[in-house]
Amino acid sequence: MRIMAISDTESTALWDHYNSNKITDTDLILSCGDLNPN
């Protein structure tokens, strides 16, 4: 099982340079903290 855990710090790799091919094998995305909901 592949899990992506995201913390309180927003990363440009997720927003500005998003590539859906990098997460196609991810089974679960767990987001914790105060991330911008948009």
Write the CA distances from 6 to 16, 19, integer angstroms. Answer: 16, 16
Question: Which among 7, 8, 4 is positioned nearest to 25, based on CA atoms?
Answer: 4
**Domain count for the chain:** 1
Q: State the pLDDT at residue 28.
A: 92
pLDDT digits (tens, 9 = 90+) for 6-29: 777 777 776 788 788 877 889 998
Residue span of the structural domain in which 25 resides: 1-37
Contact 11, 36 (CB under 8 A): no
Which is more confidently placed, 3 or 36? 3
Q: State the pLDDT at residue 35.
A: 64
